[in-house]
Structure 1
Amino acid sequence: MGGSMTQLNSFSVPDFHLPFGNSKHPLAARANAEAATWAVRHELVTDAVDQFAGIGFGHLAGRVSGDVPYETVVLLAEWMAWSFVLDDQHDHLIRTGEVAAWRPVAEAITEHLATGSAGGSGARRNPLVKGFVDVCDRILDGMPEGPAARYRAHVPLMLDSLDQEAGNRGGEGRPTVRDYILMRRHSSQILPMMDMVEAGLGLDVPQRIHDLPEFKALVASALDVISWGNDVFSLPKEHSCGDNNNLVSLISSWEGCSLATAVRAVEGRIQDRIEEYLAGERLLTETLDARGETDPQVRAAVSRIVRSYEDWIIGADLWQRYECTRYSDERFAAGLESAYTRPGLVSVA
């Protein structure tokens, strides 16, 4: 992989010049503490709880949720807390060569989504599965039909993408940049959260709108800006532990350039993607006009969900810069596992 750790010692994340404003829920810090307590109660985290809370999932939830009741922000923060544990546990199994232990957990989660039951396997007693069942059931309770169907579809795709990441770090080797970008839209774990935000705002944008190529392109642009930005923030960790699931590392590797050059290349790609996102907003409006989508409720819902995607783009960036200690933590930046990662969690029955 191009570059060396000496190059990353003075690593700084560029300003991506995101053209959006952002506000944060006034009780985001409280939601963060409550979500951390939830994770401890479900035995997802047992040590270094303050460091775990330093991820700042409540702050991110407060930046992307919009003007919603506090309980809605807490629920998203709890899902985010679970998602970070999921990600770290999967990474742990890759490091220890125990990826086979992942399948029963993923299957129990998928089965619960499909049937409302985590099955009869020992995996359903695992804290990761039990935590999922608790938060998933509360998410789906009262969720409008459209966002619920999309959430049920997106979570398995998210789990599949983690398997792809494991393959990229194992025998399958580095993916192409194009394949990585497609996978990253799911491994970012954002799509189920976007479904939650849509529901939390009281929206149910019709599936026919979600299926429009112009709408899908807009979502893809937002996901790419967020995911590629995150790859820059997390580069020191992924580079130092040999994880090739990072756009900067892949560009450096495929194009034979330094990491510094690759960071500038990703910065340029992000700027291009933002321009495509802004053009995509205009194109979506024109498309809805041309299709005769004049229902004021539908148009208002589309307008609000588009604003929500802007919240995601700027909110994720501000969160990583100012409210999240995960990417500046010395252990993390050195490629080590976080102090709060429970080594035997997935094998716990």
Structure 2
Amino acid sequence: MNRLDNFSVPDFHLPFGNAKHPQAARANEEATAWVVRHGLVTDALEQFSGIGCGHLAGRVSGDVPYERVALLAEWMAWSFVLDDQHDHLIRNGQLAAWRPVVGAITAYLDTGRAEESGDERNPLVSGFVDVCGRIVSGMSEACAARYRAHVRLVLRSLDQEAGNRGTDGRPTVEDYVLMRRNSSQLLPMMDMVEAGLGIDLPPRIIELPDFQEAVASTLDVISWGNDVFSLPKEYACGDTNNLVSLISARQGLSLREAVHEVENRIQLRIEDYLAAKQRLFHALDAGRGTDPALRDAISRCLRTYEDWMIGADLWQRYECTRYSDERFAAGLESAYTRPDLVSVA
């Protein structure tokens, strides 16, 4: 039942337009140079560059200045290394080495200061300190606080992923969906785009149920689509953190049937997003004295979510070699992964 023959990614029919920053390729080159400069990657640079962090950043950043596109590409590059190094530790039973690194990153989030111990000099930590410091310097206090909180959720979700691949076993579909919204690492990046565009919505808007539904449905569309793109690799290496393989196991479906089920769920979440957007603007229009500037900021923010949904899909299909790489499809570690980057003392 669980064979993966003649696999292809379906068209998710995303009803949004997209334009890419004209200097996206330059941002990609600079992000690759940045990971090399910080010692995060030392080999197989062509494979790392093929991820296309700059191309993704260029598709989701709207009309932000180039410097912010390049900064987002560097953050994405760091995030991919983080994810791959965490996967390496899980595969090799070395998760004890993860705690000091996470501790150092969390300490910097808490204090804004980097210590000088060995853990803080780890390339994952020093790279984080470099890029995070530049990110928050361009944010309002409220946006920076959201960004830091979202990074903490990303780190926590990595622990959950490790548990799912260990003795904890497969989560329920519902629990996985909640975890995946954070393990996708999208929220800090979305914060960066909004800050770069000068969008800083007040908490009373962010906390509205319809706004929260727009965010959640955006995260689900992107992360579930990514689960389809990454299915060959995760299935090959036995990684249970994938909605397709989870639904296959939970519902007794073949992988082909489970892909179709996820495709249907994505279409429903697109409809959920559009409905939440419509309800949100109806409520704003019905309210007396709605600030036109605030309405415009909300509209621009939601436009970034649409850029994320279609931009991530186009990037995975046409600009990212990660999901078509033979090593990746075979479930092997990326060739650029440094086995010594994070190690047990």
Q: TM-score, normalised by structure 1?
A: 0.97
Matches within 5 A, 1:64-79: 64-79=60-75
Q: State the identity %.
A: 74
1:149 to 138, 145, 152: 145
Residue 166 of structure 1: aligned partner: 162
C-alpha deviation, 1:123, in angstroms? 1.0
Structure 2 vs 1, CA of residues 254 and 122 (structure 1 numbering), >3 Å: closer, same or farther? same
Q: Paired residues, what number? A: 345
Cα distance in 1 for partners of 2:287, 2:35 equals: 46
2:14 to 7, 13, 18: 18
Cα distance in 1 for partners of 2:287, 2:205 equals: 11
Contact 1:293 1:299 in 2 (8 A): no
- Report whether the alignment pairs 1:127 with 2:120: no
Q: What are the Cα deviations for residues 294-342 of structure 1, in whole angstroms up to 9, with x where unaligned?
A: 1122111100000000000000000000000001000000000010011
Greater alpha carbon shift after TM alignment, 280-289 vs 67-76: 280-289
Cα distance in 2 for partners of 1:241, 1:194 equals: 30
Residue 205 of structure 1: aligned partner: 201
Contact 2:61 2:193 in 1 (8 A): yes
Structure 2 vs 1, CA of residues 119 and 288 (structure 1 numbering), >3 Å: closer, same or farther? farther
Letter in 2 for 1:74: A
Contact 2:94 2:344 in 1 (8 A): no
- Report whether the alignment pairs 1:60 with 2:56: yes
- Report whether the alignment pairs 1:32 with 2:31: no
Partner SS, residue 125 of structure 1: coil
Residue 113 of structure 1: aligned partner: 109
- Report whether the alignment pairs 1:334 with 2:333: no
- Report whether the alignment pairs 1:95 with 2:91: yes
- Report whether the alignment pairs 1:275 with 2:274: no
User: Unpaired runs of 5+ in structure 1?
Assistant: none
Q: Which runs of 4+ in 1 moved over 3 A?
A: 118-121, 289-293
Cα distance in 1 for partners of 2:223, 2:287 equals: 31
Partner SS, residue 343 of structure 1: coil
Q: What are the Cα deviations for residues 153-204 of structure 1, in whole angstroms up to 9, with x where unaligned?
A: 1000000000000000000000000000000000000000000000010111
Letter in 2 for 1:51: Q
Residue 76 of structure 2: aligned partner: 80
2:254 to 243, 248, 258: 258
C-alpha deviation, 1:143, in angstroms? 1.0
Contact 1:198 1:204 in 2 (8 A): yes
Q: TM-score, normalised by structure 2?
A: 0.98
Residue 243 of structure 1: aligned partner: 239
Cα distance in 2 for partners of 1:312, 1:144 equals: 22
Residue 3 of structure 1: aligned partner: 2
Greater alpha carbon shift after TM alignment, 85-94 vs 105-114: 105-114
Contact 1:63 1:312 in 2 (8 A): yes
Contact 1:16 1:271 in 2 (8 A): yes
C-alpha deviation, 1:347, in angstroms? 2.3
Letter in 2 for 1:264: H
Cα distance in 2 for partners of 1:288, 1:40 equals: 48
Cα distance in 2 for partners of 1:285, 1:172 equals: 42
Partner SS, residue 13 of structure 2: coil
Residue 311 of structure 1: aligned partner: 307
RMSD of aligned Cα (Å): 1.2
Cα distance in 1 for partners of 2:104, 2:295 equals: 38
User: Unpaired runs of 5+ in structure 2?
Assistant: none
Residue 320 of structure 2: aligned partner: 324
Q: What are the Cα deviations for residues 95-140 of structure 1, in whole angstroms up to 9, with x where unaligned?
A: 0000111111111111101101234542101000000000000001
Cα distance in 1 for partners of 2:295, 2:150 equals: 24
Residue 301 of structure 1: aligned partner: 297
Contact 1:64 1:315 in 2 (8 A): yes
Contact 1:146 1:205 in 2 (8 A): no
Partner SS, residue 238 of structure 1: helix
